[in-house]
Amino acid sequence: MDRTGKIAVVTGAGGTLCSAIAEDLAAQGYRVVLVGRTREKLEVTGKSIREKGGTCLILTADVKNLEQMTALREEVRHEFGLCSVLINGAGGNQPDAVTTYNAFDPEELSPENKGRGFFNLDMTRFLDVINVNIMGTVIPCQLFARDMVAAGGGSIVNFASMNTYRPLSKIPAYALSKAGISNFTQWLAAYLAPANIRVNAVAPGFFLNDRSRKMLLDPDSESGYSPRGANIIRQTPMKRFGEARQLLGCVNWLIDDEKADFVTGITVPVDGGFLSDSGL
């Protein structure tokens, strides 16, 4: 397919996975809009794209803020034109929405307890996680799918997670929101099918980034992994963490209007076999 001049909007483009996706799209000829809250991170991605001869536009906004994203969409239309590909990679978690217990312990109800159980999670932070992952996907879809309708079609790729299939311990808000992404992807795929817009999702397994390295690696341990990291490796048949480049093939297939033109409403795990292993 000739992708020259087509416009791809990538939210979360300053992150490890979506920066790689944005750079790959630019290398294919897309004019890429890099969206995120922190311009400094987006500038790193943008510099890499431009050094390789690609074209990009850097715009900052909070993806869960309708007013900011509406203004951003108008700027995209003014500078580049109609969006044909949307990658919804923005999202995240909050420390105060993470439990320090794997399961209920009576001490979490004690006045002296300094840990976090389900019963003393900060509900404001809990809702923040749901908003950034759910509304931070819904709002860009609502806005940029309008452009795709005007253009006669397009493709949306949302970001799900291993939590979409199995809620991992300690992160209930994140798990809840990522399960919702898969359901919303199916709903939107059915809704937008008459407009020739395909909507799918990827569910990355465990990929290393700056934040996860601190949680999953331990250079002082014999294995090099933290206890949680070692559990993940034990459960992953390919016995390694993913690298950003290993997500590109799946994303490129999903947005390809020739090779995936009858594919919509699915969530594809890219997980080294994590979901295939029962642990027994």
Q: What is the pLDDT of residue 175?
A: 97
61 touches 72 (CB < 8 A): yes
Contact 60, 42 (CB under 8 A): yes
Domains along the chain?
A: 7-207+242-276 (3.40.50.720)
Question: HSE on the CB side for 234, CA within 13 Å?
Answer: 11
**What is the block-wise mean pLDDT of the chain (280 residues), using blocks of 10 residues?**
87 97 97 97 98 97 98 98 97 95 93 91 97 98 98 97 95 97 98 98 93 85 90 94 96 97 98 91
Return the pLDDT at 113. 87
268, β-bridge pairs: 202
Cβ pair 172, 129 in contact under 8 A? no
The partner residues of 199 in beta bridges, in order of sequence, read 156
What does the CA dihedral 269, 154, 138, 265 come to, rounded to 10 degrees?
Answer: -40
- CA nearest to 189, candidates 269, 260, 265: 265
Question: Rounded to an integer, what distance in angstroms lies between the CA atom of residue 32 and that of residue 9?
Answer: 6
User: What confidence score (pLDDT) does residue 114 get?
Assistant: 86
Residue 30 annotated as catalytic:
no
- In Å, how far from its chain's centre is CA 57? 20
From 30, 174, 191, 225, the catalytic residue: 174
CA distance 248 to 31: 17
DSSP-derived pairing of the beta strands 85-88 and 55-60:
unpaired
In angstroms, rounded to a whole number, what is the distance separating the alpha carbons of residues 278 and 93?
A: 26
CB within 8 Å of 200: residues ≥ 6 apart: 155, 156, 157, 158, 185, 189, 254, 260, 263, 264, 265, 266, 267, 268
